[in-house]
Structure formats: C-alpha cells, structure tokens
Amino acid sequence: MMSRINAYLNNYYYAKNLREREIEAEIIGELTPALKKELYYQSYSVIFSHRLFSSMSDDLLKGISQYVREVTYYEDEMVFLKEFVISPCLYYVRKGELVHFTGGKSSISLRNIYTNDFVGLYEFVTQLSHQSILKTVKYSLTYLLKFTDWHSMMEKFPLDF
C-alpha cells in the first residue's frame, strides 16, 4: 500500500512539474535573445564555481550556460551508465542525493554525491569512459553539461582556455 501511495505522489509531482515547465518555457521563449542569455547565465552560474571554469571569460560562460540542462530524477532512478554515454557529461547536483557505483555484477558503492557536488568530471575532462553507475537515493535536481556542447563553445573562444 505504501509503495502505491509513493507512486501516486511521484506521478502527481511529475505532472505538476511538467505544467510549470511548460509555462516557464513559454515565458522564456518570449524573451529577447540577450535577456534569455542573461537569464540562463544567472540561473546556472553556480555550476561555474568549479575551478575548471575559473579562467574563462563571462562571455564564454554565458555561451556555455545556454547548453546547461536541468534534469529531474526521482528516487531510485538510474542516472547514467557511463559505458553507454556518447558524450561525457558533467553533472552538478543542485538538490538531492545520488550514489556512484562501480559497474559489473558485483557493484560496489564508491561514494555518495550530495547537493552542490559535481560528478563525471574525470570523464568530462579526459574523455575516458569507466564502467560505473549513478543512481538516485531520493528526488534530485541536476544541471547537466555535455562535453560536445562545452567543446563547441571553447572553439569559439580559443583565448579563454
């Protein structure tokens, strides 16, 4: 019975969240390109606190912020299997908790990832893939930046890196 109640509440929250996102997308769609760029930069600037971004100009960071995606995961949801990732991603946990496991039949918990933590940095920077799993412990809101998007912006600002 408890699992049915939890499933109902999760579905209710999910549906409510979608309606808010649709309104949000509509409002953002009406902004001028300059205002939209500034909004994304202000909204996702917390991800730029990592030293990876410390030497980059505001113009480059504003460009990169256009590619940051907000992704919501629910309890006990698989976030990624790194061996299947086409473009490595940098994840920033805005809210929630995740667990990082080794892959394979005998998975071992590597570490817990909490609010304001980054994960996937090694793969993002080196472009090397490890067999591992990232799974949510509870509802989590993450910011996601794909390497391909970051790299395309870096090519437009060669003096920034």
Q: Write the CATH number for 72.
A: 2.60.120.10
When pLDDT is cut at 50, 70 and 90, the band that residue 5 belongs to is low
Do 61 and 53 form a contact (C-beta atoms < 8 A)?
A: yes
Asked if residue 16 belongs to a domain, the reply is no
Give yes or no for a contact between 68 and 46, defined as CB atoms under 8 angstroms apart.
no
Rounded to an integer, what distance in angstroms lies between the CA atom of residue 112 and that of residue 101?
9
pLDDT tier, 12 (very low <50, low <70, confident <90, very high otherwise): low
* Distance separating alpha carbons of residues 142 and 70, to the nearest angstrom: 6
- Return the pLDDT at 61: 94
In-domain check, residue 26: no
Phi, psi of 70 (to 5 degrees): -95, 125
Residue 23 belongs to some domain of the structure: no
For the cut 60, the answer to whether the pLDDT of residue 2 exceeds it is no
Establish if 4 belongs to a structural domain: no
What pTM value is reported for the model? 0.78
Which residues, 6 or more positions from 24, have their beta carbon under 8 angstroms from its beta carbon? Answer: none
Which residue range forms the structural domain that includes residue 154?
Answer: 31-160
Q: Is residue 105 part of a domain?
A: yes
For the residues 125-148, what does the mean pLDDT come to? 84
155, part of any domain: yes
Q: How many domains does the chain have?
A: 1
Cα-trace Rg, the chain: 17
Domain-embedded: residue 21 = no
Residue 40 lies in a domain: yes
- For 79-113, the pLDDT digits (tens) are 875 544 567 888 899 999 998 877 666 677 788 99
At residue 1, does pLDDT exceed 60?
no
Give the integer Cα–Cα distance in Å for 60 and 68: 13
Nearest to 69 by CA among 119, 144, 14, 123: 144
Q: Which residue, chain included where needed, has tokens 């509870």? A: 138
